[in-house]
Amino acid sequence: MAEQNATRDILRDEYNAAPYHSYPFGQTHPTHLHTLAKLFKLNPSAVENARILELGCAGGGNIIPVALQFPRAEVLGIDLAEKQIEDGVKQIEHLKLNNITLRQQSILDFEAREGKFDYIICHGVYSWVSEAVKDKILQICHEHLTPNGIAYVSYNTLPGWNMVNSVRELMLWHTQSIQDPMLKAQQARSVLKFLVDGLQEDNSSYAQVLRNEINLLSKQGDFYLLHEHLSSFNHPVYFHQFMERANRHHLSYLSDAHLLTMYTDNLPQQFSKELSKIKNIIAVGQYMDFIRNQRFRCTLLCHDTQVVNRAINTQDVEGFYIQLLGKPDNPNFSEKDIKEGSEVSFTNGSLTIKVRSTIAQTALLILMQEQFKPIHYTELCKKLMVKTGVKQLDVIKHHLNNDLNLMRALFAGIININSYPGNYTLEVAKKPTVCPLARFQAQNQNHVTNRRHQTIMLDPLTKVVLPLLDGTLDTKALIEHVNTQIKEGKLSMLDEQKQPIKDEQEIVKRTKSICTTTLENMAKQAIMVECET
Ligand SMILES: C[S@@+](CC[C@H](N)C(=O)[O-])C[C@H]1O[C@@H](n2cnc3c(N)ncnc32)[C@H](O)[C@@H]1O
């Protein structure tokens, strides 16, 4: 007990001293968990009325947007570090949300009386806590999950962390006597850079690992470095070890939150052929981790009494909203490129699908035109009928399901599916309204959470304009406001050579088109809403 308390105090102090920046993670969103559960033929609870729990929620960056999106859902987030919880509570008060509670509490103190939850999320916590907390996380997932509930737990994995661990130990060793977190982060970065600079000419795999890591860390803030690499606790495990422990808590594997990582056909043929002979999904996943040198996993769990059906048919895509993620090989792909006998390719960067039939090509064009908001399969069929003139639904479906094979495209990461529509608008209204959470965030930071549960970085103009868009200001007033800001020197307008424009008339001339583009971009980025919610 004394040891548990000491561990808890160390972690709480570490997070209070350098709070974790709290972001949304699309793969944890309950609608995504609902979608995957449905795909594997479970019967998940509707998210709009669900009880949702997040363990280790930091400042609520991941869970507050969910509560805002589903006002009838009941949301609870707990975290050890009071400073992070205080930040989240301020946001909740500002947004006047009454369906969410954020509470400073250790996972270890979670009580039986909290009742059952339809969705339990625990992202980026499991690997950084003591063995007792790990067991408690899985115990909560078992004891507090409704019979059809879904739990999400992410964790660092081996073998990927074997190599990264050398980097962690280097940085820990170098900074062992430094207490101040910011200085610690700075010194950790500089010792890594020192090694990488010295090994510039070195082509060994070790030098490559160091280069990769410095590159990865250069994109992350100090808070990430401190809590990911320099945390007192960091215990990566093999996937099979995690699942053995989950099984002991009567939890079964449902799927990975990233579907494309599960699909053996995405690997080179010699691997997929051999792996397809193995019937045990955990063993397959473990071999795939060895093949890919996996360092992180996002695992969905359900009660071991649930029957997961992995026999997915191509027509199972029919109940979902679809969004294109891939891009055409031909960046100018348009109607005129759709021809009998030609081949159209779409890729996600590493995997490609090719289609020959003009109906399948037209379907990809429609998905491309609708890429900023998911379109329901039924709607896609309707649009495809109009565009191709084909009247028989079964012919249209045959092309979508078998020729284009949307299910294959899903597993290749070319499309995404969701059982819920996007709750944002692509229209720029006369008096545009931006989601209230984004308005609040834009006043305090340089990034906001959009309605696709993603982080959007703000350019200087968007940062100025966004907080004003509460549905009371029309675009004319907005343009005037921007002109005034430029006149007062609070914003500057740059020409094509990135030089400030001084001429007032030129500024006024350009402001209108810049503001229009900015508003349209906000809509495409899923920040605009129909009206205040
Ligand atoms: C790496 S951060 C991840 C935060 C958040 N889930 C995310 O991914 O952005 C780990 C979080 O777990 C919290 N934590 C660690 N041990 C805990 C415990 N025993 N009970 C509750 N929260 C804990 C920390 O305070 C911290 O906010």
Instruction: Dump pLDDT digits (tens) for 402-438.
Output: 999 999 999 999 999 999 999 999 999 999 999 999 9
Could you tell me if 215 and 321 lie in one domain?
no
What per-residue confidence (pLDDT) applies to 2? 63
> Do 284 and 278 form a contact (C-beta atoms < 8 A)?
yes
CA nearest ligand 1 atom 9, residue: 22
> Do 150 and 119 form a contact (C-beta atoms < 8 A)?
yes
In a domain, 431, yes or no: no
Could you tell me if 153 and 168 lie in one domain?
no
Which of 87, 125, 135 to mutate to test ligand 1, by most ligand atoms within 8 A of the CB atom? 125
Give 155 Cα–ligand 1 centroid separation in angstroms. Answer: 12
What per-residue confidence (pLDDT) applies to 9? 74
List 77's β-bridge partners, or say none.
Answer: 54, 102
State whether the beta carbon of 128 lies less than 6 angstroms from ligand 1.
yes
State whether the beta carbon of 136 lies less than 6 angstroms from ligand 1.
no
* CATH classification of the domain holding 70: 3.40.50.150
State whether the beta carbon of 28 lies less than 6 angstroms from ligand 1.
no
Query: In sequence order, which ranges of 424-527 are alpha helices (DSSP H)?
Result: 436-444, 460-465, 475-487, 504-524
User: What letter does residue 310 receive in the DSSP assignment?
Assistant: -
* Sequential DSSP letters for 393-422: HHHHHHIIIIIS-HHHHHHTTSEEEESS--
Of the candidates 432, 415, 321, 324, the residue with the CA atom closest to the CA atom of residue 369 = 324
Nearest ligand 1 atom to the CA of 19 is 27
pLDDT digit string, tens, across residues 323-378: 999 999 999 999 999 988 889 999 988 889 999 999 999 999 999 999 999 999 99
As for how many domains the chain has, the answer is 4
In a domain, 30, yes or no: yes
> Do 470 and 532 form a contact (C-beta atoms < 8 A)?
yes
Give 227 Cα–ligand 1 centroid separation in angstroms. Answer: 10
Let me know if 347 is exposed, middle or buried by CB neighbors in 10 A (0-12, 13-18, 19+). Answer: middle
Could you tell me if 248 and 134 lie in one domain?
yes
State whether the beta carbon of 11 lies less than 6 angstroms from ligand 1.
yes
Could you tell me if 21 and 135 lie in one domain?
yes
Give 12 Cα–ligand 1 centroid separation in angstroms. Answer: 9
CA nearest ligand 1 atom 3, residue: 124
Q: Out of 248, 272, 303, pick the residue that ends a domain.
A: 303
Give 142 Cα–ligand 1 centroid separation in angstroms. Answer: 20
Could you tell me if 412 and 469 lie in one domain?
no
- Stated pTM of the model: 0.94
State whether the beta carbon of 8 lies less than 6 angstroms from ligand 1.
yes
State whether the beta carbon of 129 lies less than 6 angstroms from ligand 1.
yes
Give 106 Cα–ligand 1 centroid separation in angstroms. Answer: 9
Q: Please give the Cα distance from 180 to 177 (Å, whole number).
A: 10
State whether the beta carbon of 80 lies less than 6 angstroms from ligand 1.
yes
State whether the beta carbon of 84 lies less than 6 angstroms from ligand 1.
yes
Q: Please give the Cα distance from 461 to 510 (Å, whole number).
A: 13
Give 85 Cα–ligand 1 centroid separation in angstroms. Answer: 11
Chain position carrying tokens 């590159």: 215
Q: Out of 303, 327, 359, pick the residue that ends a domain.
A: 303
What per-residue confidence (pLDDT) applies to 533? 45
User: What letter does residue 458 receive in the DSSP assignment?
Assistant: P
State whether the beta carbon of 125 lies less than 6 angstroms from ligand 1.
yes
Give 56 Cα–ligand 1 centroid separation in angstroms. Answer: 4
Nearest ligand 1 atom to the CA of 231 is 1
Could you tell me if 9 and 150 lie in one domain?
yes
Q: Please give the Cα distance from 20 to 12 (Å, whole number).
A: 11
Give 440 Cα–ligand 1 centroid separation in angstroms. Answer: 24
> Do 13 and 79 form a contact (C-beta atoms < 8 A)?
no
State whether the beta carbon of 154 lies less than 6 angstroms from ligand 1.
no
In a domain, 515, yes or no: yes
Query: Which whole-number Å values give the CA distances from 196 to 166, 209, 214, 217, in the listed order?
Result: 14, 10, 8, 13
Count of all residues that appear for the chain in the document = 533
Domain range for 406 is: 314-418
State whether the beta carbon of 316 lies less than 6 angstroms from ligand 1.
no
Q: Considering just the CA atoms, what is the radius of gyration of the chain in Å?
A: 25
Give 44 Cα–ligand 1 centroid separation in angstroms. Answer: 26
300: which 2 tokens? 């969905």
CA nearest ligand 1 atom 20, residue: 106
Respond yes or no on whether the N-terminal peptide bond of residue 460 is cis (omega within 30° of 0): no
In a domain, 427, yes or no: no
In a domain, 533, yes or no: no
19: which 2 tokens? 């709070």
Give 156 Cα–ligand 1 centroid separation in angstroms. Answer: 14
Query: Which whole-number Å values give the CA distances from 273 to 263, 279, 288, 475, in the listed order?
Result: 12, 13, 13, 58
Q: Please give the Cα distance from 215 to 246 (Å, whole number).
A: 34
Per-residue pLDDT tens digits of the chain, which is 533 residues long: 665 676 677 778 776 777 778 999 999 999 999 999 999 999 999 999 999 999 999 999 999 999 999 999 999 999 999 999 999 999 999 999 999 999 999 999 999 999 999 999 999 999 999 999 999 999 999 999 999 999 999 999 999 999 888 889 999 999 999 989 889 999 999 998 898 888 888 998 888 888 888 888 888 888 888 888 888 889 999 999 999 999 999 999 999 999 999 999 999 999 999 999 999 999 999 999 999 999 999 999 999 999 999 999 999 999 999 999 999 999 999 999 998 888 999 998 888 999 999 999 999 999 999 999 999 999 999 999 999 999 999 999 999 999 999 999 999 999 999 999 999 999 999 999 999 999 999 998 999 999 999 999 999 899 999 999 999 999 999 999 888 888 888 888 888 888 888 888 888 888 889 999 999 999 999 999 987 54
Could you tell me if 243 and 360 lie in one domain?
no
Amino acid at the residue 452? R
What per-residue confidence (pLDDT) applies to 501? 82
Could you tell me if 346 and 454 lie in one domain?
no
Give 297 Cα–ligand 1 centroid separation in angstroms. Answer: 17
Q: Please give the Cα distance from 318 to 364 (Å, whole number).
A: 16
Chain position carrying tokens 């900074």: 175
Give 58 Cα–ligand 1 centroid separation in angstroms. Answer: 6
Q: Out of 209, 227, 245, pick the residue that ends a domain.
A: 227
H helix or E strand, kind and range, residue 154: strand 145-156
In a domain, 412, yes or no: yes
State whether the beta carbon of 15 lies less than 6 angstroms from ligand 1.
yes
Could you tell me if 217 and 86 lie in one domain?
no
In a domain, 308, yes or no: no
In a domain, 137, yes or no: yes
Could you tell me if 292 and 409 lie in one domain?
no
Could you tell me if 146 and 59 lie in one domain?
yes
Which of 4, 20, 109, 225 to mutate to test ligand 1, by most ligand atoms within 8 A of the CB atom? 20
Could you tell me if 215 and 298 lie in one domain?
no
Which of 8, 55, 80 to mutate to test ligand 1, by most ligand atoms within 8 A of the CB atom? 80
